[in-house]
Every structure is written in structure tokens, then in C-alpha cells.
Amino acid sequence: MTTSEPFSLDNDDLEQLTQISPTDEVSDGDDLPRDDDDSVLEEGRRLLEEAEAKLSAVERALARLDAGTYGLCEVCNAPIAPLLLSERPSRRGCELHEVAAEGAR
């Protein structure tokens, strides 16, 4: 599964994470509905695939950074506009070639 949105946490997410303590009570799952186990499993798989795709995109961007090619279009080698990189740091192509780079995944 591919997505054009970067993985990110906003301030509300970070605030919630900082409020979790090791002594917080954790549900054992008994309160979850059991009649939809298949849909829950499928949703979990979908979320896992999405997370893996985002991680893969970040790893490719880090490899380009190490190689000195981060911020350059993989198709024409032109610089990618900083605004486009700020919107999605894992971007692989310039505005003209992003569709081709997306399809090459």
C-alpha cells in the first residue's frame, strides 16, 4: 500500500503519549467486541502495511541522504522544491516526475 502522506505525530498525539505512565491500567482485550474479529484483524493488517510502507519510504530517503542525493529528483536529477520536501520529506521526484517515481516503487 502506498500513501502520499508522511508519518507524523502532532502535538496532541505527543501530549497523549507523554501522559501515559507504566502504572496505567492496560486492557486485556476482554472489553473488545469478538463478533468482528476478522474485520479487526484486517484493519490491523492494513495499518501494518501502511506503517511498513511509510518506514520503507523513510529508509529510502535516509539512504539518499547518505548518498548525497536527497532532495534530487530520481528521474531528472533536478532539485526538488523545498516546499514539496517539507510537505513530504520522503518525496522521490520533482513536481513533474513524482508520478513516475511513485509508480517505480
How far is Cα 67 from Cα 63, in angstroms, rounded to an integer?
6
Whether 72 is in a domain gets the answer: yes
The set of cell numbers assigned to 3 is: 500513501
Question: What proportion of the chain, given as a percentage, has pLDDT over 70?
Answer: 59
pLDDT at 29: 60
User: In sequence order, which residues have a C-beta less than 8 Å from that of residue 17 and are 6 or more positions away?
Assistant: 9
Q: Convert the pLDDT of each residue in 84-100 to its tens digit.
A: 999 999 999 999 998 65
Q: Convert the pLDDT of each residue in 7-29 to its tens digit.
A: 555 666 666 666 665 555 656 66
Whether 18 is in a domain gets the answer: no
Whether 99 is in a domain gets the answer: yes
Whether 2 is in a domain gets the answer: no
Domain span at 75:
37-103
Whether 48 is in a domain gets the answer: yes
- How large is the C-alpha radius of gyration of the chain? 19
CATH code for position 60: 1.20.120.910
Whether 82 is in a domain gets the answer: yes
Whether 16 is in a domain gets the answer: no
Please name the residue that has the C-alpha cell 474479529.
Answer: 37
